[in-house]
Amino acid sequence: MADLLGSILSSMEKPPSLSDQETRRRAREQAARLKKLQEQEKQQKVEFRKRMEKEVSDFIQDSEQIKKKFQPMNKIERSILHDVVEVAGLTSFSFGEDDECRYVMIFKKEFAPSDEELDSYRRGEEWDPQKAEEKRKLKELAQRQEEEAAQQGPVVVSPTSDYKDKYSHLIGKGAAKDAAHMLQANKTYGCVPVANKRDTRSIEEAMNEIRAKKRLRQSGEELPPTS
């Protein structure tokens, strides 16, 4: 019986030491601080949302404002603002390259931005409606001119002056025309007469005539005239 009681007592957990108690205390304090921070963050989000709702409401009631640019916000704040704007029935966009510099712009539905305006904000430029209208008109004008040119067909370019008038002091007014009428075929090409190039005799007939002329020269006789 004593042995059984001793084995039971030895198997029981020992009371926590001072170090274990300190660890648990610190864990409880850390959990309490975390909970407090979460509550504070939640409260900050609620207050931020109320402030954004007030600014969006003032923006809607102001008939002179068609858009509003907010200061740079973090990701959570931008998300809250986008949600408030959507509930209010407005349009919102985020612009900016770096996350710390990104900001939100809101627009009234009837004044929703065009693609050109959005591209301007994405490039970090201010939107100028007057310059945009001038650019649009120039683009339309260029397009109309291209369409008219395509309907007219290819453009024929004519010289503004005659080259003969330009060089008349060198060649004279009638020199080129007269020279063209005076052109004649050259009778010779190298050392071979042109007439020989038009010989219709066969090779055998030509060779026989050459042999005959050679025999006559060797005999000292006169060559008969060739027809």
Q: pLDDT (tens digit, 9 = 90+) per residue, 165-189?
A: 666 666 665 555 555 555 555 555 4
User: What does the pLDDT read at residue 76?
Assistant: 93
Average pLDDT for residues 16-31, to the nearest whole number?
A: 80
pTM score of the predicted model: 0.49
Domain-wise residue ranges, the chain:
26-128
What token pair was written down for 45?
């989000």
**Residue 56, burial from CB neighbour count under 10 angstroms (0-12, 13-18, 19+):** buried
Taking residues 55-65, report their average pLDDT. 93
Asked whether the predicted pLDDT for residue 82 surpasses 80, the reply is yes
Interaxial angle between packed helices 75-88 and 18-61, expressed in degrees from 0 to 180 and rounded to the nearest 10: 40
**What is residue 53's predicted lDDT score, i.e. its pLDDT?**
95
CATH code for residues 26-128: 3.30.1370.50
Say what percent of the chain tops pLDDT 90: 27
| Other CB atoms within 10 Å distance of the CB of residue 81 | 24
Separation CA 87–CA 53 (nearest Å): 10
Contact 199, 206 (CB under 8 A): yes
What span, in angstroms and rounded, lies between the C-alpha atoms of 192 and 198? Answer: 11
